[in-house]
Structure 1
Amino acid sequence: RHIGMAQRLATDVAARARREETLRGVLGVRGVGDAVEVAARIVQAATDDAKALTAERDEAERADLRRTLGVADGAALPPAVRSQVTALEDEQKRRATRSLRDGIDRVLTDLQSMYRDVVMLAFGREADMINRELESELRALAQTWGPRRALVVLDRIAETRRNLEQNVNPTLALESLLVTVASGRTP
């Protein structure tokens, strides 16, 4: 999963730009208002990506199923086959939810790499940096925060991931994480 994202970042300029925009947005969080705004943007971007990834496939699956069932495009579904179409639609909804959660998980992985860099810089280990494009911002953060606060944020990222696995609302989970980023304390 992460290898695929690395390949995408290596070849897709738009994906790299979205990643950097997300990381810079999180670096700009200073309070609750910022946390709410940035969390909403992250969830919206993940939602848009999930829709883009699934829309074409979903439509093709629906068309294939209708063709297999002998139902012409635009024709009403006979009652005898509605359950099969409903089952497909339910599966597609589950897949869309999974795709959204995967998108948010990718953001959490990016945030982990960024705050890991802060810890490494706080300990003078700049050769191990991952996010070189953010070096000056991360260096300033390492000097201001030190390793302890960055470790609190890293723990909070892991907790956010666990919360999402328990079906916590993604926006609320990210807002809570970003309040920790802003304050250095767990809400």
Structure 2
Amino acid sequence: MLSKILKHRKNIRQYMRYMRQSLTVKQQYNASIQISHLACNYTLIRKAKNIAVFLPFDGEINTYPFILKLWLNNQKVFLPIINSVHNKTLLFAHFTSKSILYCNQYKIFEPYFHTQDIISTSDLDVIIVPLVAFDKTGARLGMGGGFYDICLKDWRKKNILPVGFAYNFQLVHNIPKQYWDISLPVILTPDQISFFGS
């Protein structure tokens, strides 16, 4: 049974990654502008002071237009960094227009940072979460590393709002969940904001 679930999850990942990577530059750009507009008009994001945002990788939604809007609104942006000391955990570093980026071991951009640039996860108001697929219950399928599942384990206690960013086609009928999977209360696509009972 477990092997069937894992195989199904793997198949979803492969198909959705193929779909993302097949998008034209224009399609990616249009989606990023639409989702940025929706996000910045969503009250809980608009009123947030500290927002963690991923940088696009592997055909993910381009978050740069959204980040620019946050800066213009004088909101602080933080980028995820894979913690080299505690495996599978994320740190979040302040990101500005002057930040210098480098490619980590997964080919994802991270900022060079000093200790004072790191914010406690509990001090974040919103975490924008990447995903490979999601379903009508808010269940999220990521790339398989488990970083965000660990990071978001206590999001209710910490009073953080996790918000998924996805393309419309990333919605699937059902994601076979594992016990460690964290569902999302809110997911934005270029067309709409979806709320779930997580």
TM-score after normalising by structure 2: 0.24
Structure number with larger C-alpha Rg? 1
Asked which structure has the greater RCO (Cα within 8 Å, sep 6+), the reply is 1
More helix by percentage: 1
